């Protein structure tokens, strides 16, 4: 998939704050109001994901552009000698955010963060930090509560013993996210059990109605159902955005 990635006309190279170079694909839709920063799962990279990203972009055409970025230590980044790590994932999504907001001048209120599986880690982490203040919303697809919770289960007596080695601890961060959060998860997920998504939904400050897809596994969620759910979420975010602009205009007029 490396050759397909290198030949893609929408390929860009981002640089993290530590100087690591990572590839990204920016599928732009001129009429779209939103841009989605897409964080992929663990056993894949943006080259493998090209077809899935193209399908998502087609289903969201006219509503959202998509920026799919790579993690430090994955695909082309790995070929440059960089190793994958939790902190590397955080630096990577920060680079994607900075590219949109600083280089392209995209307003934070026009950006939606999307995390699939382990990609929920950098997504939730960024969305609760000051860097992403004003972000429009968050979409979590088959999200993890934390790395250890996926392996041991939500109620394991060993969780406290493994706390020091846990990674992507979304369960401790999701309550700090101020923007609306949409969560979709298959009820028969054999990789990241449904209880992970349910726990994050329970702890969210501003949860959008969840989409629990009956009988679907981690990698078999129906793309059409996921896209329709996302479109409904984006429509809600757009309405919120319009009402906020209206309130701001009214305040200025009264002043």
Would you list the DSSP string of 101-135?
A: IIIS---GGGEEEEEEGGGHHHHHHHHTSGGGTT-
What sign has the CA pseudo-torsion 87, 130, 70, 124? Answer: positive
* Pick from 114-118, 138-142, 211-215, 248-252: least confident: 248-252
The reply to whether 155 falls in a domain is no
Integer angstrom CA distances of residue 134 from 84, 107, 141: 29, 8, 21
The residue annotated as part of the active site, out of 26, 40, 185, 218, is 218
The residue annotated as part of the active site, out of 45, 94, 166, 189, is 189
Domain containing residue 106: CATH number: 3.40.50.1820
The residue annotated as part of the active site, out of 75, 77, 117, 120, is 117
The reply to whether 53 falls in a domain is yes
For the cut 60, the answer to whether the pLDDT of residue 251 exceeds it is no
The reply to whether 186 falls in a domain is yes
Other CB atoms within 10 Å distance of the CB of residue 161: 11
Mean pLDDT of 23-32: 96
For the cut 60, the answer to whether the pLDDT of residue 253 exceeds it is no
| Active-site residue, 214 included | no
For the cut 70, the answer to whether the pLDDT of residue 1 exceeds it is no
For the cut 60, the answer to whether the pLDDT of residue 249 exceeds it is no
The reply to whether 171 falls in a domain is yes
The reply to whether 76 falls in a domain is yes
Which domain range does residue 66 map to? Answer: 2-149+160-254
The reply to whether 22 falls in a domain is yes
Q: How far is CA 63 from the centre of its chain?
A: 17
The model's pLDDT over 115-124, given as tens digits with 9 standing for 90+, comes to: 999 999 999 9
- C-alpha angle with apex 159: 156 to 163, nearest 5 degrees? 170
Mean pLDDT of 40-45: 92
pLDDT score for 219? 96
Other CB atoms within 10 Å distance of the CB of residue 231: 15
Pair of tokens at residue 91: 């630096």
| Active-site residue, 189 included | yes
pLDDT score for 137? 99
pLDDT score for 247? 58
pLDDT score for 57? 97
Q: For residues 68 and 38, is the Cβ–Cβ distance under 8 A?
A: yes
Q: How far is 59 from 69, CA to CA, in rounded Å?
A: 19
The reply to whether 114 falls in a domain is yes
Q: For residues 195 and 171, is the Cβ–Cβ distance under 8 A?
A: no
Q: Which pairs count as long-range contacts for 148-156, CB under 8 Å and 24+ apart, including other chains?
A: 149/196, 150/191, 150/192, 150/193, 150/196, 153/193, 153/195, 154/193, 154/195, 154/196, 154/199
**Residue whose token pair is 């006219």:** 62
The model's pLDDT over 57-85, given as tens digits with 9 standing for 90+, comes to: 999 999 999 999 999 998 787 777 788 99
The model's pLDDT over 138-165, given as tens digits with 9 standing for 90+, comes to: 999 999 999 988 887 776 666 766 777 7
Of the chain, the percentage scoring pLDDT greater than 70 comes to 93
The model's pLDDT over 175-198, given as tens digits with 9 standing for 90+, comes to: 999 999 999 999 999 999 999 999
Pair of tokens at residue 245: 């602009």
Q: Element (H or E) spanning 127, and its range?
A: helix 120-127
| Active-site residue, 218 included | yes
CB under 8 Å to 75, separation ≥6 — which residues? 1, 2, 5, 23, 45, 46, 47
The reply to whether 73 falls in a domain is yes
Our count of domains for the chain comes to 1
């Amino acid at each position: 998939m490396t050759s397909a990635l290198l030949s893609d006309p929408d390929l860009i190279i981002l640089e993290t704050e530590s100087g690591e170079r990572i590839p990204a694909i920016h599928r732009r839709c001129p009429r779209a109001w939103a841009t989605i920063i897409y964080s992929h799962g663990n056993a894949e990279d943006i080259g493998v994901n090209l077809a899935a990203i193209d399908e998502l972009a087609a289903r969201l055409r006219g509503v959202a552009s998509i920026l799919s970025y790579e993690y430090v230590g994955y695909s082309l980044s790995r070929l440059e000698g960089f190793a994958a790590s939790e902190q590397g994932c955080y630096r990577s999504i920060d680079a994607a955010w900075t590219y949109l907001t600083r280089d392209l001048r995209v307003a934070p209120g026009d950006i939606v963060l999307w995390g699939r599986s382990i990609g929920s880690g950098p997504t939730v982490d960024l969305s609760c930090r000051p860097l992403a203040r004003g972000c429009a919303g968050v979409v979590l697809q088959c999200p993890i509560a934390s790395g250890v919770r996926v392996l041991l289960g939500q109620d394991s007596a060993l969780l406290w013993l493994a706390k020091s080695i846990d990674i992507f601890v979304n369960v401790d961060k999701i309550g700090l996210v101020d923007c609306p959060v949409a969560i979709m998860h298959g009820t028969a997920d054999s990789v990241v059990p449904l209880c992970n998504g349910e726990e994050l939904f329970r702890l969210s400050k501003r949860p959008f109605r969840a989409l629990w897809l009956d009988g679907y596994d981690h990698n078999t969620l129906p793309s059409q159902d996921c896209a329709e759910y996302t479109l409904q979420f984006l429509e809600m975010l757009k309405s919120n955005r319009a009402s906020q602009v209206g309130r701001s205009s009214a305040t200025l007029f009264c002043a």
